[in-house]
Amino acid sequence: MGSQKFLACFFLHFFLLLLVFRLSVGQGLRIGFYSTTCPNAEAIVKKSIDQVMAVAPSLAGPLLRMHFHDCFIRVNNLPHLVCGSGNVLGCDGSILLNSSTHQAEKDAIPNLSLRGYGTIDRVKSALEKECPGIVSCADVLAIVARDVVVATKGPYYEVETGRRDGRVSNLADANNLLPPFANITTLKLGFQARGLSVKDLVVLSGGHTIGTSHCSSFSNRLYDFSGKGETDTDPTLDPNYIIRLKTRCRSLSDTTTLVEMDPGSFKTFDTSYYALLPKRRGLFQSDAALLDDSETRAYVHEATTDGSSFFKDFGVSMVNMGRIGALTSSQGEIRRVCYNVNY
């Protein structure tokens, strides 16, 4: 390596470190950001969400997932950034933008999510009525995620606010969410690339304690798992559970049927997700993969014991996640409607 190239590389790495640092500290976010500009902001969100939950409790899952998607979308791997082609986005409300985004979710039929988008619009309208142009859509997603966790009997945690909304609307080409078939290496790298820890990975995966999944997100484990034919199933999945899942998901081509992700308790935010994993009843390969690493495996076992710290940890990790790529101060804008950038 020539010395000039070495220097260039050195500085790239230096700036990269700064960037990662910025990503991980979420500069400018704080608890109660709206306490003077819109003191009722969080109460308004909670009121709307409580109304929605009363009539459509199944929206809890999609609404929690939406904040996760917003934060995880298009944060390219570190090597890409070094090459200069990276584009860091994070919790900036981009997931809500119309046009490409509503169709860009390659991993799921956007049916349920679509209902979720309507809820966000409703919350945003309520906020605009009281405090026009003050509360960002990115913050709405973060507060809503907390409120649906509480509504499903999960932990209350303080949400940091002060995010601003991004103006990048074309995400179609850059949807690099972690896939449900990701192995533990890929999962750890994916979290690391966003400044999150292995602990955050195992704790946030606990979000799968609520909600439903389309068959298509896991049916590869039920049919022709390794290309040996129809009856070839994933050996890491409990055979009795496979039988049950097959009665719901009749073939690889089923893209519409929904299955409870945490059977029997999918409406309640609790630790039962972690109880299922060692029984080989994690629905996705990415769930099962948490048994393949000593740190995540230890956490899985600890999470179901008396005095488990899962509820407390979940709040901490959600705050960490909510800092990914957050825009603050004069960056971005406060959208007037969540589905369009301001003109």
Ligand X SMILES: *[C@@H]1O[C@H](CO)[C@@H](O)[C@H](O)[C@H]1NC(C)=O
Among 183, 226, 240, 342, binds ligand X (CB under 6 A): 183
Cα–Cα distance, 46 to 149 (Å, whole number): 11
Record the tokens describing residue 30, joined without a space. Answer: 């704080």
Is residue 214 flagged as an active site residue? no
| Residues in contact with ligand X, shown as a per-residue x/- string from 230 to 269 under the rule CB under 6 A | --------------------------x-------------
Q: Which is nearer to ligand X, 68 or 117 (CB)?
A: 117
Q: Are strands 212-214 and 258-260 parallel, antiparallel or unpaired?
A: antiparallel
Shortest Å, Cβ 207 to ligand HEM: 3
257 binds, among ligand HEM, ligand X, none (CB under 5 to 8 A by kind): none
Q: If you write DSSP's letter for every residue of 86-107 in order, what string do you get?
A: -----SSSGGG-STHHHHH-TT
Record the tokens describing residue 40, joined without a space. Answer: 């009722």
Q: Which is nearer to ligand X, 121 or 130 (CB)?
A: 121
Size of the site for ligand X (CB under 6 A): 10
Cα–Cα distance, 72 to 193 (Å, whole number): 10
Q: Is 186 in the site for ligand X (CB under 6 A)?
A: yes
Annotated binding-site residue? 224:
no
62 binds, among ligand X, ligand HEM, none (CB under 5 to 8 A by kind): ligand HEM
Tokens 């009363």 identify what position? Answer: 54
Residues 136 and 334: beta-carbon distance below 8 Å: yes
Q: Which is nearer to ligand HEM, 261 or 341 (CB)?
A: 261
Shortest Å, Cβ 28 to ligand X: 27
Residues 274 and 310: beta-carbon distance below 8 Å: yes
339 binds, among ligand HEM, ligand X, none (CB under 5 to 8 A by kind): ligand X
Q: Which of residues 44-103 bind ligand X (CB under 6 A)?
A: 98
Q: If you write DSSP's letter for every residue of 184-242 in order, what string do you get?
A: HHHHHHHHHTTT--HHHHHHHGGGGGS-EEEGGGTGGGTSSTTSS-TT---TTS-HHHH
Max CA-CA distance within the chain? 65
Q: Is 284 in the site for ligand X (CB under 6 A)?
A: no
Among 33, 34, 157, 339, binds ligand X (CB under 6 A): 339
The CB density around residue 58, as the number of other CB atoms within 10 Å, is 15
Q: Is 185 in the site for ligand X (CB under 6 A)?
A: yes
Tokens 């990048």 identify what position? Answer: 168
Spatial CB neighbours of 240, under 8 Å, sequence gap ≥ 6: none
Q: Which is nearer to ligand HEM, 290 or 327 (CB)?
A: 290
Q: Which stretch binds ligand X (CB under 6 A): 109-117, 193-201, 269-277, 305-313?
A: 109-117
Q: Which stretch binds ligand X (CB under 6 A): 64-72, 178-186, 260-268, 293-301?
A: 178-186
Annotated binding-site residue? 92:
yes
The 3-state DSSP class for residue 128 equals: helix
Catalytic one among 69, 80, 214, 301?
69
Cα–Cα distance, 118 to 17 (Å, whole number): 38
Among 7, 83, 114, 243, binds ligand X (CB under 6 A): 114
Residues known to be catalytic: 69
* Binding-site annotation: residue ranges for Ca(2+): 70, 90, 92, 94, 105, 209, 262, 270
Residues that bind ligand X (CB under 6 A): 98, 111, 114, 117, 121, 183, 185-186, 256, 339
